[in-house]
Amino acid sequence: MFLNWTHRSGLGAELQIPAHERPLPQVTLSDQRRWQQVERLLHDDDIRLYVRIGGLFLLLFAQPLARICRMHADQITQRPDGAVTVTFDAAPIELPDPLDRLVLDQLARRGQASYASRPDRWLFPGGLPGKHLVTENIRSQLVALGIQPSAARKAAMFDLAAQMPVPIVAELLGLSPNTATRWATLAARDWSQYAAMRRA
């Protein structure tokens, strides 16, 4: 309020307030540990299927759990050649084996709920008709497995930002350009010449 008053009165014309720079995110999960967690979710049949898929979308594609739980079934597509894709934002991503088979199994099991209803539009239906799975359901089970969602997502984001240009990361994962740029900066990769590279 004081600064607004000085501006209105003309007393603060010479004042310049430096912009507050957000600190870069910190990555605490090692790449080796992250891939160990990926391997366990891919192959451990004792873990609930939806927890495995949710955790893999988190660890491989840096998707927040809240967005994962709200995914629609039509975000998954099986092409005529058998390849399975997932679309988180604008562009489809082809899923590797065996994740593709796990996702197809999840699509087939969505109707096995404790209530009778029409086919659900959610990829992860919740316990109430028409509702998606609540975030805490997956989060608590991942934590019990030793997977911390926040640390896992940051590690995945760091890895993806190091491998791909900012525009591609933003388009595939549904990130703002500013967020993707911050992660690229953290990963110490300069993709500023990406547009020129594509035109060449």
Q: pLDDT in tens for each of the 200 residues of the chain?
A: 776 777 677 766 666 666 655 555 677 889 899 999 999 999 999 999 999 999 999 999 999 999 999 999 999 999 999 999 999 987 899 999 999 999 999 999 865 444 444 556 899 998 888 889 999 999 999 999 999 999 999 899 888 888 877 778 777 777 777 777 776 776 665 444 444 444 44
Domain of residue 132, residue span = 31-149
Give me the sign of the Cα torsion angle 42, 44, 47, 48. positive
Residue 50 lies in a domain: yes
Cα 139 to Cα 136: distance, rounded to the nearest angstrom:
5
Q: Which residues contact 4 (CB under 8 A, 6 or more apart)?
A: none
pTM for this model (two decimals): 0.76
Residue 49 lies in a domain: yes
Residue 157 lies in a domain: no
pLDDT of residue 197: 42
Residue 125 lies in a domain: yes
Cα 74 to Cα 77: distance, rounded to the nearest angstrom:
7
Cα dihedral 118, 46, 67, 65, rounded to 10, equals: 150
133 neighbors 69 (Cβ within 8 angstroms):
yes
Residue 37 lies in a domain: yes
pLDDT of residue 114: 43
Query: How much of the chain is in helix, strand and coil states, percent to nearest 5?
Result: 50, 5, 40
pLDDT of residue 58: 96
Pairing of strands 84-87, 92-94: antiparallel
Q: Compute φ and ψ for 105, nearest 5 degrees.
A: -60, -40
Residue 36 lies in a domain: yes
Residue 112 lies in a domain: yes
Lookup: tokens for 116 = 């009778």
Q: Which residues contact 108 (CB under 8 A, 6 or more apart)?
A: none
Number of domains in the chain: 1
pLDDT of residue 97: 93
Lookup: tokens for 24 = 């870069």
Alpha helix stretches (DSSP H) within 123-165: 135-144, 149-163
26 Cα distance to chain centroid: 17
Helix, strand, or coil (residue 45): coil
pLDDT of residue 87: 93
pLDDT of residue 182: 72
Residue 5 lies in a domain: no
51 neighbors 142 (Cβ within 8 angstroms):
yes
